[in-house]
Amino acid sequence: MNSIAPSLLNPWPDHPVNHRTDCPNPPDHPDHFVITLAPLSLSDAYALADDPANGAVVLMSGMVRNQTDGKPVVALEYQAYEPMALQVFQQIAADIRKTWADVSHVVIHHRVGRLQIGEVSVIVAIGCPHRTEAFEACKYAIDTLKHQAPIWKKEWYNDREYSWVRCC
């Protein structure tokens, strides 16, 4: 269980961090967006992007590494303004479809809370009939997410030393 106080996970108390926040898409919608405290599943994200019409599913996972620019890192702590982040995820999917019209599924899952070395912090999965478009759309999604989603990370170097880093 996460030992961080809920108020530290989300500085906006009128938008509390839940165990899991899904974007309110209808059940048959081809896209899936989640922000969660729970570990992310590569197989679940892949299954959500898979479709019999696809020739490719490209899946990208971001992980917590043990160093940044040679400085040892012991953990990362993610915070998000969830309502706005989910809107950004939706806009990314809409923009992808304007550029790569054949994309069938866009899946974006992101963790919040304290993550240890090796844990998956973000997953982007793109389903598409063709691999080139799937790779391009996946790269676009993660690059855009990093620059536009209101998600922040704190790099912990030891028990007391940390630094806020532009995220994601």
The structural domains of the chain, with segments of one domain joined by +, span 17-165
Nearest 5°: phi and psi at 8?
A: -80, -25
Residue 84, pLDDT > 60, answer yes
Fold entry, domain 17-165: Aldehyde Oxidoreductase; domain 3 (3.90.1170)
pLDDT tens per residue across span 35-72: 999 999 999 999 999 999 999 999 999 999 999 989 99
Cα–Cα distance, 127 to 47 (Å, whole number): 10
Q: Output the CA angle 110-112-114, nearest 5 degrees.
A: 130
Handedness of CA 100, 101, 105, 107 (dihedral sign): positive
Binning pLDDT at 50, 70 and 90, where does residue 7 land? Answer: very low
For strands 20-22 and 32-36, give the pairing.
Answer: antiparallel
Residue 10, pLDDT > 70, answer no
Return the pLDDT at 29. Answer: 77
Total count of residues recorded for the chain: 168
Give the predicted TM-score (pTM) of the model: 0.84
Residue 17, pLDDT > 50, answer no
Six-digit token pair at 100? 């790569």
Terminal Cα-to-Cα distance of the chain (whole angstroms)? 23
Binning pLDDT at 50, 70 and 90, where does residue 2 land? Answer: very low
Residues 6 or more apart whose Cβ sits within 8 Å of residue 36: 19, 20, 21, 109, 110, 111, 112
